[in-house]
Amino acid sequence: MKRLLSLSLSLLLLLPLMADEVEFRAQAPGKVVAGKPFQLTYTINQRARDLQAPEFLGFEYLAGPYTSQSSSTSFVNGHRTSTFTLTYTYTLLGNTPGDYTINPATITSDGKQYTSNGVRITVLPPDEQPTSSSTSSSTSKSISERPEAPSSSSSDIFVRTIVTKTNVYEQEALQISYRLYVAGVDFAQMGNSLKLPEMTGFLKQELELGNRQFELEHYNGRNYQAVTLFSYLLYPQHSGDIKIDAAQFEAILRVQTHQQVRSIFDDFFGTYENVSRSLPAPAVTIHVKPLPAGKPAGFSGAVGQFSITPSISTTDIQANEAVTLSLNIRGTGNMKLIKTPSVDWPEGFEPYDPKVTNNFKPSNSGFTGNKNIEYLAIPRAAGDYTIPEVSFSYFDIQEGKYKTLSTPAYTLHVRRAPGQAADGEQVQTYTNVNKEDIKQLGSDIRYINTSELPRIYTPEREPLTISTILLIDMIIFIISMLVLLLCRKLIKDNADQMGRRYKRANKVAQKRLKAAQLLLNGDNQAFYAEIEKAAFSYLSDRLRIPTADMTKDNISDLLQQKSVPESLIKQVNEVLSTAEFARYAPTTGAEKQALYDATTQIINQLENQKI
């Protein structure tokens, strides 16, 4: 048996290190500088042969392919995992600036041929040579005469203020970015000193930049490593020239210092120190044009490019049933500021507040996506009705004029409801209507049963004995005492409502968190409402204060009085602020998951604090 197990293990270790799915990829820098070599690699996760590389049109072949491979095997909980990588590396050179495409390559693995992806590469011009004829005198100085902390010029590192437009209409979106450029200096990191302008006169939305990474960029005749630090979407709120003040950044540079150099080795292994450099970003002025005259009657400030798609749930309906008119506004512009168009329902309809679902996200031209509006109403009388057209007006940026989009007029045939008189008088009444889930209540009137009831005691039955009667009395007495004790306990618990809420705080919060978890991939507003309710209800119950008195300041003061750490109080305020703001702003699934995890964590931490 042992020999069989040993043989099986040996066979497993000798199996080829093969991946479940073959992946053959080509990789190269997206941007390179003319005259500087770069590497193109082809990688496959299986053993392979016969690599057929394409012609490197537009590039000079220098060397390759150099082949390297790596493999690893791991056992975790009895499961064996193996990886294998085979890499081919070419060294190429671009001589002429421009955009080039390297076609896919092919390779053979296990008798099958696989094709890689193509690669697009931009060749940037080389750095322009300085026109100054003066020569540097520093090369003629001895090593001991070098400065202690060499300085860099303003062209080596700086921040640009970049705006997509400087001439816009009111409410027309523009993007402003602050971009860092570095060349010829040893950049360590950005410092803590930061001053961004208020951007007064604009509504602003910060754009998510994700993982910030440097990339090569040719600017003013020189190649830099550049990265965007901040980016905002701006909507001007009034006409005229609006100035965005200068921003202020701080960069930390790593420079080499020399106290007294005695040999070339001291020069090579010199000490380094961090030096702070102030980086101002220039101010910029935006010229905002007023919207032209002749605004349509229904214009409410929508600016951009939009389309509208209407629909109605039915055109043949029974009285007291709900009808839904849907309006889908899609496009790009100031979608956050679009007001809900009104519907002029016919006489005899009972309308409800419209349900608005926002599904848009920020882009370079504004918010892009759609706003879905559902109007619900209930006709109370039979007849034929006309739902008039719904109009939506906006200012078209591309054409520079106002446009009005309208839905068609819908004819609705309403049939008489069961039990409804011909003149429309209602025999049945409907109460306690939920405005979100409309239901017709059934009749609660029942006929009185006039048939003879069954007789409980008949002469044919034998009379009860005294012992049986005493036993029944004893059972009734015991049950009465139990009921009395239970009632006294319920009365006592009901008298201490805050105490009951205190004990059930964590249980109620966990139920709300479970409800929020089910909405992670659903309605944003419903998710953030559940998160906000979970946090506020838990804090209200645990701190024994009414919901009406729940403010962030009150919560912070009470938590401080109960010796809760400042870091935890700060996390509580951040969760409450994020949930309150995000209900009306577009968010991603990752942001919702992070907020859910943070809320769960602070509730568990507060539970451990025994507040």
Which CATH number characterizes residue 32's domain? 2.60.40.10
Which secondary structure element, helix H or strand E, spans residue 68, and what is its range? strand 59-76
The distance of Cα 248 from the centroid of its chain, to the nearest Å, equals: 28
In this structure, the answer to whether residues 174 and 263 fall within a common structural domain is yes
Which pLDDT value is given to residue 142?
A: 31
Which pLDDT value is given to residue 135?
A: 38
In this structure, the answer to whether residues 275 and 161 fall within a common structural domain is yes
In this structure, the answer to whether residues 167 and 112 fall within a common structural domain is no
The whole-angstrom separation of Cα 346 and Cα 503 is 52
Which CATH number characterizes residue 585's domain? 1.20.120
In this structure, the answer to whether residues 208 and 250 fall within a common structural domain is yes
- Domain range for residue 343? 308-415
Amino acid at 131: T
Q: And the tokens for 182?
A: 């570095």
Asked if 370 contacts 361 with a C-beta cutoff of 8 angstroms, the reply is: no
Number of domains in the chain: 4
Which pLDDT value is given to residue 435?
A: 46
In this structure, the answer to whether residues 233 and 361 fall within a common structural domain is no
Residue finishing a domain among 261, 289, 317: 289
The answer to whether position 335 is within a domain reads: yes
Residues 6+ apart with CB under 8 A from 108: 48, 49, 50, 114
- Helix 497-518 to helix 466-495 angle (10° resolution) is 80
In this structure, the answer to whether residues 196 and 249 fall within a common structural domain is yes
Residue 125: cis peptide before it, omega within 30 degrees of 0: no
In this structure, the answer to whether residues 36 and 112 fall within a common structural domain is yes
Which pLDDT value is given to residue 436?
A: 45
Residue finishing a domain among 221, 256, 289: 289
Give the CA-trace dihedral at 312, 317, 322, 327, to 10 degrees: 10
In this structure, the answer to whether residues 529 and 568 fall within a common structural domain is yes
In this structure, the answer to whether residues 274 and 361 fall within a common structural domain is no
Residue finishing a domain among 289, 321, 350: 289
The answer to whether position 491 is within a domain reads: no
In this structure, the answer to whether residues 406 and 519 fall within a common structural domain is no
In this structure, the answer to whether residues 321 and 276 fall within a common structural domain is no
The answer to whether position 294 is within a domain reads: no
State the DSSP string of 235-287.
EE-SSEEEEEPPEEEEEEEEEEE-S---SHHHHHT-EEEEEEEEEEE--EEEE
The answer to whether position 444 is within a domain reads: no
In this structure, the answer to whether residues 115 and 191 fall within a common structural domain is no
| Ordered mean pLDDT values, 10 residues apiece, the chain (611 residues) | 49 45 90 90 90 90 88 76 89 91 92 91 84 41 35 78 92 93 88 88 86 88 91 92 94 76 54 85 94 88 92 91 93 88 91 90 85 92 92 90 92 84 50 44 46 51 73 90 86 60 73 80 78 80 70 77 80 77 64 83 78 68
The answer to whether position 258 is within a domain reads: yes
The answer to whether position 135 is within a domain reads: no
The answer to whether position 36 is within a domain reads: yes
- The pTM for the full model equals 0.56
Which pLDDT value is given to residue 410?
A: 93
CB atoms closer than 10 angstroms to residue 34: 17
The answer to whether position 549 is within a domain reads: yes
The whole-angstrom separation of Cα 92 and Cα 106 is 19
Residue 368 pairs in a beta bridge with: 332, 361
SS3 229: strand
